[in-house]
Amino acid sequence: MLEQLIPFLIASILLTLSPGPDIIYVLSQSLVGGYKKGMIIALGLVFGIIIHTSLVAFGVSLVIKNSEPLFWSIKIAGALYLLYLAYKVYSSPSQNFTQDKTVDSKKSALSDFKTGFIMNILNPKVTIFFLAFFPGFLWDTEKDLMMQFYVLGGLFMFQAFVIFSLVALLSDQLSKFLFKTTKSYSFLKWFQIFTFVAISILILL
């Protein structure tokens, strides 16, 4: 079992560290809103992995993979959702983009979690990737495959949350040097808009 799980963990860490929509989103939002905001978004993204793992475990991912209209419908929905978030940022006053890291209401925390969760589940590439990636690390094909899929999914979630948390912490520290004056508010606003648009294009491509 360990002979499969250790290589799986190493591969998962390398994949999570590679530039992609999730890690870019955590980085950008932590720069703008601080460590706590980045952590909550990371939780939402990681919980989305449960959905992708379940789709693979129950075989639904095969349906998505074999249905190009369904696959593209999910991708387009994800891209549109990110463009909607970009519009929300665009229509908000620049003064809202201060880094208030001591006050964070339950409502805003729930909103950040929901955004991360929806963003992750609306990326069908993750499900298709898990379908191709996970089977190669099953340690006993004659035993409970569903349980093995969830073990792999849980391990992937754990390492992803650790890495996202470190990215959030480092981004928060970096922001203290980058954004010291009110002149940075406008930059923060357009930085978020650019990030949302760029991630939506990444999902489509």
Q: What is the pLDDT of residue 185?
A: 61
CB of 166 closer than 8 Å to CB of 36: no
Please tell me the distance from the alpha carbon of residue 63 to that of residue 178, in angstroms, as a whole number. 46
Please tell me the distance from the alpha carbon of residue 111 to that of residue 82, in angstroms, as a whole number. 14
- Domain-wise residue ranges, the chain: 37-96+107-204
Q: Which tokens belong to 16?
A: 């999570």
Residue 69 has pLDDT above 80, yes or no: yes
Per-residue pLDDT band for 150 (boundaries 50, 70, 90) equals very high
Q: What is the pLDDT of residue 160?
A: 94
Size of the chain in residues: 205
Per-residue pLDDT band for 172 (boundaries 50, 70, 90) equals confident
Start-to-end CA distance of the chain, whole Å, equals 36
Please tell me the distance from the alpha carbon of residue 121 to that of residue 80, in angstroms, as a whole number. 13
Burial class from Cβ neighbours inside 10 Å (0-12, 13-18, 19+) for residue 130 reads buried
Estimate the share of the chain in helix, then strand, then coil, as percent rounded to the nearest 5: 85, 0, 15
Per-residue pLDDT band for 132 (boundaries 50, 70, 90) equals confident
Work out the mean pLDDT of the chain and round it to a whole number.
81
Per-residue pLDDT band for 180 (boundaries 50, 70, 90) equals low
Please tell me the distance from the alpha carbon of residue 90 to that of residue 135, in angstroms, as a whole number. 42
Q: What is the pLDDT of residue 102?
A: 47
Per-residue pLDDT, averaged over 42-60, amounts to 89
Per-residue pLDDT, averaged over 88-101, amounts to 60
Most confident of 6-15, 55-64, 179-188: 6-15
Per-residue pLDDT band for 179 (boundaries 50, 70, 90) equals low
Q: What is the pLDDT of residue 136?
A: 80
Three-state DSSP class for residue 142: coil
Residue 110 has pLDDT above 70, yes or no: yes
Per-residue pLDDT band for 182 (boundaries 50, 70, 90) equals low
Per-residue pLDDT band for 25 (boundaries 50, 70, 90) equals confident
Q: What is the pLDDT of residue 181?
A: 54
The DSSP call for residue 137 is: G
Please tell me the distance from the alpha carbon of residue 205 to that of residue 32, in angstroms, as a whole number. 26
Closest CA to 205 of 123, 134, 133, 132: 123
Residue showing tokens 């950008």: 28
> What global pTM score does this model have?
0.76
